[in-house]
Amino acid sequence: MTGTAANPWDAPAPEAAGLPSVFGLLPEELEAAPGRAEHVFNRLHRPWTYRPEGLFLNREAREWIAASYDVSLPEIIERHPSEDGATKVVLRLRDGERIEAVHMPRDVRNPRVTLCISSQVGCAMGCTFCATGAMGIRRNLSAGEIVGQVLSLIRTLGPAQPHAITLVFMGMGEPLHNLDNVHRAIRILNHPWGLNISTRRITVSTSGLVPAIERLSRLRPRPWLALSLNATTDEARSRVMPVNRVWGLGRLREALGAWGLAPGEKFLLEYVLLAGENDTVEDADRLADWLGELRHGHNINLIRMNEHAASAFKQPEEDRLQAFLDRLKARGCFVTVRKSRGRDVQGACGQLLK
């Protein structure tokens, strides 16, 4: 089954008006700037070099940029610290729209920070367990706004070095509904003249836009892919995720099989457990069967439903989660349970709404 024009994710989402963001420029697009393109790009994408009066560039370069580009970063207007150390952040874009992102430090042997970032204002996918889906789609973020979101978070909350950053496109929006801008942002964030964030530390999560998955598989540099699955029959998945009415589980599995994994590359299979909907041992068996050989080595990440006012779904009882987990392990699956960060400030998976 293929998509039709009636599906909101078939048509491009609206874009922001006004001057393009300078933070969305690739190095080759800065060749005409006064000074070396490498120097200008490096200064634009090193948030630690900003000074209060503006971009850390000479006057000629600043004037060249200001003539054609917007130089503002998304503005952090609210910070909501969680008891677990995460911080939900509200950012205002230049047209007044607002997005949410989450800053999640990890206190491990080599401390790291995971940034959960947004790709759209709202979302067109309509997943019934997700607060952002209740907004509908407002507009895409430009590549410059996506990059600027990252720079604003780093500049305000850290970390002090780019090698300590992990990026997950798991905030507001469906990243593959905005693939052109998302991939351009990844090219910029990955570039060695800038933050140089390895694509092994960039994960893009999708609800299952199969044509865009297939297109992303051919793009370079290529991030790691996470699939939000959340059901094990077409009937159940179509009920909670409207995208499945167009690209069902069989077609989705074909797209994963055709991805062409690089050495060491893995899929992340996200499965939100909804009490009474998708949390039976039979669901666990069907999930293992659907994955086939992918159940070995690829991470199934179980997520307790993060409850919010926009959805009636509840998280499962712990014994149901444990039985689900045990059955997957018995079937040879590599499975983890996500410890959702920021739940107390409505900053966990599925709770972002602005």
> At 137, which CATH number?
3.20.20.70
Domain that holds residue 201: 74-345
Say what the pTM is: 0.95
CB 329 within 8 A of CB 287: no
Q: Answer yes or no: is 56 within a domain.
A: no
Q: Answer yes or no: is 250 within a domain.
A: yes
pLDDT tens digits in sequence order for the chain, 354 residues long: 344 446 777 888 999 899 999 999 999 999 999 999 999 999 999 876 555 456 778 889 999 999 999 999 999 999 999 999 999 999 999 999 999 999 999 876 677 899 999 999 999 999 999 988 888 999 999 999 999 999 999 999 999 888 899 999 999 999 999 999 999 999 999 999 999 999 999 999 999 999 999 999 999 999 999 999 999 999 999 999 999 999 999 999 999 999 999 999 999 999 999 999 999 999 999 999 999 999 988 999 999 988 877 778 888 999 999 999 999 999 999 999 988 776 778 765 765 676
β-pairing verdict for 224-228 and 268-273? parallel
Q: Could you tell me which of 323, 291, 310 has the C-alpha nearest to residue 353? A: 310
Provide the number of structural domains found in the chain. 1
Q: Give the E-state strand segments of 154-195 in sequence order.
A: 165-169
Q: Distance from CA of residue 12 to its chain's centroid?
A: 18
Q: Answer yes or no: is 98 within a domain.
A: yes
Q: Answer yes or no: is 52 within a domain.
A: no
Q: Answer yes or no: is 34 within a domain.
A: no
Q: Answer yes or no: is 114 within a domain.
A: yes
CB 354 within 8 A of CB 90: yes
Q: Answer yes or no: is 42 within a domain.
A: no
Residue 32, classed as helix, strand or coil, is coil
The set of catalytic residues is: 100, 349
Q: Answer yes or no: is 35 within a domain.
A: no
Q: Which residue has the tokens 């917007």?
A: 70
